[in-house]
Amino acid sequence: MQKKRLAILAVTLSMASAHALTPEQIALARQYGASEAQIQAASASAAQSATSPSEAAPALAPTIQPRTTAATASKAGEPFGYSLFAGMPTSNTPLSDLPVPDDYLIGPGDELKIQLYGKENALHTLRVGRQGNIDFPGLGPIYVAGNSYQQVAVDLISRIKSQMLGVDVFVSMGALRMMQITVTGEAFKPGAYNVNALTTITQALQAAGGLNTGGSLRKIQVKRNGRVVQEMDLYQLLLRGDNKADIRLRAGDVVFIPAKGPSVSIDGLVRRPAIYELRGRTSLNEMIALGGGLKPEAQNEVRITRQSETGPQLFNINTGSRQAASFTIRDGDAVSALRVSDTFNNAVVLKGAVLHAGPASFKPGMRINQLISSPEKDLLTSIDLEYGVVVREVDASRRIQVLQFKPGEAMRNPGSRHNLTLQKRDQIILFASDTHDNFAKNLAGSGASQDSSITLGQLAQKTQIEAALDNSRESLLADVISQLKLQAGPEQAVQIVEIRGEVRFPGIYPLPRNGVFSDLITAAGGRTEAADRIELSRYLANGRELKLTHNSFDIPLNDTEAERLLTQPLQSKDRLNVLAQPEWREEITVKLEGEVRYPGSYVVKRGEMLSQLIRRAGGLTSFSNPQGAIFTRESLREQEQENLRRLNEELRAEMSYAQLRSQGNPLAQKTDPSSGIKLAEQLENTKALGRLVINGPAVLAGDKSFDILLENQDRLFIPQQRNSVSIIGEVQFPSNHTYQRDLDMQDYLERAGGAKKRADTSRVYIVKADGSVRMPSGNWIYTSTPRVEAGDTIVVPADIESRDSLATWTAVTQIMYQLGVAWAAIKP
């Protein structure tokens, strides 16, 4: 019977919402013992009620909407428990056909349904009057008020059967009576509410929209006729599911919510951090229990911060001690459960280019080869088998020292000195044998793109690049070098050294214990092919002064000299500079294209001239135009690209200045900035060519004053003979025309339809086939125009000068025109 009443209350609570049931309502219904079938039925009824409102009828239960301002208990620093009853009181929705518990007391306003069948079939719906009677046809008034529903049903069935022979009787409840209760105190919406006769304390709180965060959850009172008949601690319901105090209300009852009592916050590694209200004396252990207990990663010690008249006080108490059971928590205390150290005390840590990085269980006598037994099983394919370090703590202050070893030797020869014996808390760091830049070059060479069409193979290469960057020396050693710098002092110099020059991985490295020259060279990946000499820069103490000295050593040619040099001990702040051979240079490659007898890429030696390379390539073909030769150089291209970037910045700055000037002067001519913005965008996307104007015929003729000393990535394009003249820019019809010896620049402009209105005819210029520019010369009396030759391009620039013109536009348009001419000549 008790379970049945609990289920009835849970369903009543759930069906009080005209919206989808909230998780809090479902949880409370389950706490009350409602079955899943009842909860699902209530959800369906609530959804139907929300989409199809009922006709106006007497309200039996208030509808609650979630209130967004209510605090939740899922976050630290927020009051616990208020979200369960948070809502917005709205219009009331009638509820009918509710199961009624047997102990429900019948009163005025209730309806009884009495069904007769057998000799007589009839259904009578009788309302209990103000006098507590029902008027049954043929039997007269019957007093039912004050009796339980079960007792009334038994009495009615007995009386009707005794007075009406041959009739069976079934008694059920109809509509329940309405009653008025009052919710006062720290309710969200205090006032009087019309509720059904099954309403409990918690349902009344929901009817009022819940509690303000200043209200007490622990001392809610029910007053009847001026006397307190029940006091409810909602924490018993919220934390233990105990609803014994959640009694049904009667007409005229007052639910009073007093102000919140003493409160304490608990946060950190507890399962339910929040602000909790205290009730009576509360010990530290009881406070931790309110917070759901400690998490596994929490310490056994908690910190309590307390405000007092003399200032803040701090207490650190072990949760397993007697003090924790006797220590009394006070109003305003802040309890914090601290995390235990995440450092492994009985482990070693493996980092870097390994398949399974992280801590490993330590065993006394453990060696390197027990952590990494084989490259295939334990290491990445990019592993550097010549260099690894062990970072070891040497004292209680956790100062460190570094030991260097060769991983490959430790695995191949367990008895070697490289198979170090490990200690607790050692860090073993292994490195990749390739750099991020080398991976990136390989990826670019394979044709990988950055778009969405990247293949799985290219994606794998990208992953290798990221892994190489993470396992690089600089990345993995950054924390070690920082700690070595921090622990340096008067008693110990900083244990770092540096190597630069012709080594694979130049940089700053930790000075290993008993380190020598060869250790530092090995750490840097070894010398490159160009290495020829080593210079040592060392600081020597001379009293209170430091003197910087330099010593040089040639790369030895015999074993004795090598042993003497490479076994010299290293000292703090030593710097090795591995110098290259004087005449050593990287391979120089020059590309010949166009009308060359044997075009292609050629490897040239240092000091080789362009004319020599052309002779090696068999000279030019009979269709070549050496006058229009286009020679580009990578260093010039980079310089031009930087100039274009700077010019773009100047253009945008002048545009902004002109716009501000025109806004500040109402008489100034307003200019449309869209053309300037478009020009700036074009300039930003323009690629520099790096063209060097050369005299092709003079180079072929062997004139040393015009010959070019070749550099790496130079490029020479010899165009085909072209018997045409191009006209571009601000003309009516930009076009190409057959070259005629007797025509001048003006004749060609007329053949292109003449200049446009916005053309700057005073600045028309000619871009010669060799890339040089010719401008008209003379004065206001006489002007001489340059001679037009085959392969020339006549450029008519735009007149961009006006009262508010931008001075940079002229240079911009000229650069873009010239680049366009050069690209048009060499593009396939």
Query: How many beta carbons lie within 10 A of that of residue 738, not counting itself?
Result: 10
Half-sphere exposure of 159 (CA within 13 A, CB side): 16
CB 433 within 8 A of CB 395: no
> Taking 70 as the threshold, does the pLDDT of residue 62 lie above it?
no
Question: Helices 634-664 and 808-826: crossing angle, nearest 10°?
Answer: 150
pLDDT confidence band for 47 (50 / 70 / 90): very low
Backbone phi, then psi, for 487, in 5-degree steps? Answer: -85, -5
Point out the domain boundary residue: 146, 173, 200.
173
Same domain, 45 and 185: yes
- Give CA–CA dist 662/802, Å, rounded: 13
Same domain, 500 and 418: no
Please indicate, yes or no, if residue 165 is contained in any of the structural domains.
Answer: yes
**What is the pLDDT averaged over residues 228-246?**
91
Extract the tokens encoding 242: 């105990």
Instruction: Domain of residue 162: give its range.
Output: 111-173
pLDDT at 83 over 90: no
The two counts, helices (H) then strands (E), for the chain are 22, 39
Which CATH number belongs to the domain containing residue 152 in this structure? Answer: 3.30.1950.10
Res 73: pLDDT: 44
Q: Are residues 385 and 480 in the same domain?
A: yes
Dist. CA 205–CA 203, nearest whole Å = 5
User: Are residues 380 and 427 part of one domain?
Assistant: yes
What CATH number has the domain bearing residue 200? 3.10.560.10
How far is 39 from 239, CA to CA, in rounded Å?
21
pLDDT for 440: 42
**Both 302 and 184 in a single domain?**
no
Identify the pLDDT of residue 451.
44
Q: What are phi and psi of 656, to 5 degrees?
A: -65, -40
Q: Please identify, among 305, 339, 373, the residue that sits at the C-terminal boundary of a domain.
A: 339
Helix (H) or strand (E) holding 560: helix 559-566
Say what the pLDDT of residue 37 is: 52
**Which of 114-123, 259-268, 607-616, 659-668 is least confident?**
659-668
Structure tokens at 637: 């291209």
Residue where the block lists tokens 């509808």:
63
- 383-411 pLDDT per residue, tens: 999 999 999 999 888 899 999 999 999 99
* pTM (global) more than 0.75: no
Judge if 210 and 130 occupy the same domain. Answer: no
Shared domain check, 189 and 120: no
Same domain, 142 and 280: no
Q: Give first-to-last CA distance, the chain, whole Å.
A: 94
Tokens standing for 214? 């200043």
Q: Binning pLDDT at 50, 70 and 90, where does residue 17 land?
A: very low
* pLDDT computed for residue 5 by the predictor: 44
The enclosing H or E element of 464 equals: helix 456-470
Answer whether residue 483 is part of any domain: yes
Residue 35: inside a domain, yes or no?
yes
Residue 379 lies in a domain: yes
Whether residue 74 is predicted with pLDDT greater than 50 in this model: the reply is no
Tokens 């060279």: give the residue.
521
Residues 157 and 282 in one domain: no
Which residue's structure tokens are 């018997």? 723
CA distances from 688 to 321, 646, 691, 811, 822 (A): 77, 13, 9, 15, 10
Residue 189 within any structural domain of the chain: yes
**pLDDT tens-digit series, residues 421-460:** 999 999 999 999 865 444 444 444 444 444 444 455 555 5
- Tell me, yes or no, whether 480 and 399 share the same domain: yes
Give the 3-state secondary structure of 32-45.
Answer: CCCCHHHHHHHHHH
pLDDT attached to residue 511: 96
Residue 559's pLDDT is what? Answer: 66
Is residue 742, in this structure, part of any structural domain at all?
no
Give the number of C-alpha atoms closer than 13 A to the C-alpha of residue 60, restricted to the C-beta side.
Answer: 21
* Residue bearing the bigger pLDDT, 565 or 317: 317
DSSP state of 211: B
Residue 217 has pLDDT above 80, yes or no: yes
Q: Is 233 found in the same domain as 163?
A: no
Kindly state whether residues 429 and 514 are assigned to the same domain. Answer: no
Residue finishing a domain among 201, 231, 257: 257
Domain count of the fold of the chain: 5
Looking at the domain assignment, is residue 562 inside a domain? yes
177 has pLDDT over 90: no
**Is 530 part of a structural domain of the chain?**
yes
pLDDT band for 627, please (50, 70, 90 cuts).
confident
pLDDT digits (tens, 9 = 90+) for 369-387: 999 988 888 888 889 999 9
Q: Does residue 682 or residue 382 have the better pLDDT?
A: 382
Return d(Cα 346, Cα 368) in angstroms, integer: 16
